[in-house]
Amino acid sequence: MRTRKDISQDTVVSHFTARAYKYDASSKWCTDDDMLKTIVQCLAPAPDASVLDIACGTGLISRQFHKQVKQLIGVDITDAMFHKAKPLTDGLVKASAEVLPFKEGSFDIALERQGIQFMEAEEAVKEMARVTKPRGKVCLIQLCAYGTEDQEEYFEILRLRNPARRNFFMREDLANLLTAAGCVDVKVMDFISDEDVDRWADNGAIEDERRQKIHDIYRKATPGFNQYHAVTIAADGRIVDKMLFGIAIGTIPA
Ligand SMILES: C[S@@+](CC[C@H](N)C(=O)[O-])C[C@H]1O[C@@H](n2cnc3c(N)ncnc32)[C@H](O)[C@@H]1O
């Protein structure tokens, strides 16, 4: 895991306050049915399960579980994001994921999608594990670099796209975070999302200069980057990247 130490929580909240109005349309993956169905299938929640959605944002993950399980609780720190999630949950808690206001073993499943890159990741994942019941599941869903060949360019693209990002992951980082938090039976699956880079970079919270730099990196991408991202550039200049998500799931020991 690569970490930047200079990101404050105020920076994160300002970033998402600026983005909230167009967040749901800011990436294909946000609302991608295939991805959302894959997540639910992997976790296979029982109808009487209690589920915790960390960094719930506008509730795009919460809505997949709400009313399908006994209880779905969302946690986030940005009002502008989570007020949209209210009708999609059974309760919203404004709290830092690093210090969760729940007792040990309160939930059957704790999951996060694209949240821990803004956090003290080790602390947050330990908290997710702490509040999950024995035999319950903890799930991390994160954009990852494929390997050493693409990580420098990809991490720079991710940094430019989101100035509030603190952590940059490889798949093994997700597994290590879950293991360090006490999970067993840890598995990481791949999910590939074909993202239109212009749509993805136009998130409503970064300047043209950053978007231009992202374009430049894609246009000059090394063979090492391209062998994984299989970048295509259409005649009209639109760029599509096969972005990799790691879906990592661990089990709390009995
Ligand atoms: C990229 S959005 C992800 C939203 C949602 N999980 C999804 O998949 O659409 C990241 C969210 O993380 C929240 N967040 C960032 N740091 C946090 C923290 N320390 N504790 C709780 N939420 C946090 C932000 O406010 C934002 O809503």
Q: Contact at 8 Å (CB) between 73 and 93?
A: yes
- Per-residue confidence (pLDDT) for residue 81, from 0 to 100: 95
Which of 147, 97, 92 has its CA nearest to residue 118?
97
Q: Where are the beta strands (DSSP E) in the chain?
A: 2-3, 50-54, 71-76, 91-94, 107-113, 132-145, 167-170, 184-196, 232-233, 239-251
For ligand 1, atom 25, the nearest C-alpha belongs to: 78
Q: What is the pLDDT of residue 162?
A: 94
213 is a domain residue: no
The helix/strand/coil state of 246 is strand
Q: Best of 112, 119, 126, 161 to mutate for ligand 1, by most ligand atoms within 8 A of CB?
A: 119
- Would you say residue 138 lies in a domain? yes
The answer to whether 118 and 164 are in contact (CB under 8 A) is: yes
Q: Is residue 218 part of a domain?
A: no
> Tokens representing 240?
């599509």
User: Does residue 200 belong to any structural domain of this protein?
Assistant: no
Mutate to test the pocket of ligand 1, among 7, 12, 126 (most ligand atoms within 8 A of CB): 12
Task: Give yes or no for residue 56 CB within 6 A of ligand 1.
Answer: yes
- The tokens of 121 are what? 């990741």
Which residues is 167 bridged to in the sheet?
3
Within a domain: 203: no
Asked if 143 and 158 touch (Cβ cutoff 8 Å), the reply is yes
Q: Does ligand 1 come within 6 angstroms of the Cβ of 63?
A: no
Domain that holds residue 36: 2-149+163-194+243-251
Pocket test for ligand 1, best of 26, 81, 111 (most atoms within 8 A of CB): 81
Sign, CA dihedral 159-162-163-166, equals negative
CB burial string 125-141: b at 16+ within 10 A, e below: bbbbbbbbbeebbbbbb
Query: Which atom of ligand 1 lies closest to the CA of 20?
Result: 27
Which CATH number fits the domain that encloses residue 174?
3.40.50.150
Tokens (6 digits) for 226: 């391209």
Tell me the H-state helices in 109-240: 121-130, 148-161, 171-180, 197-201, 208-219, 223-229
Inside any domain, residue 101: yes
* 231 located within any domain: no
Residue 232, in any domain of the structure:
no
Sole residue written with tokens 């007020």: 83
Residue closest by Cα to atom 26 of ligand 1: 57
The pTM assigned to this predicted structure is 0.97
Task: Give the span between the Cα atoms of 239 and 198, in whole angstroms.
Answer: 7
Q: How many domains does the chain have?
A: 1
Q: Which of 126, 124, 139, 144 is nearest to 44 (CA)?
A: 139
pLDDT averaged per 10 residues in sequence order, the chain, 254 residues: 94 94 92 97 98 98 97 97 93 97 98 98 98 98 98 96 96 98 98 93 87 93 95 88 98 98
Q: Is the CB of 78 under 6 A from ligand 1?
A: yes
CA of 136 to the centre of ligand 1 (A): 22
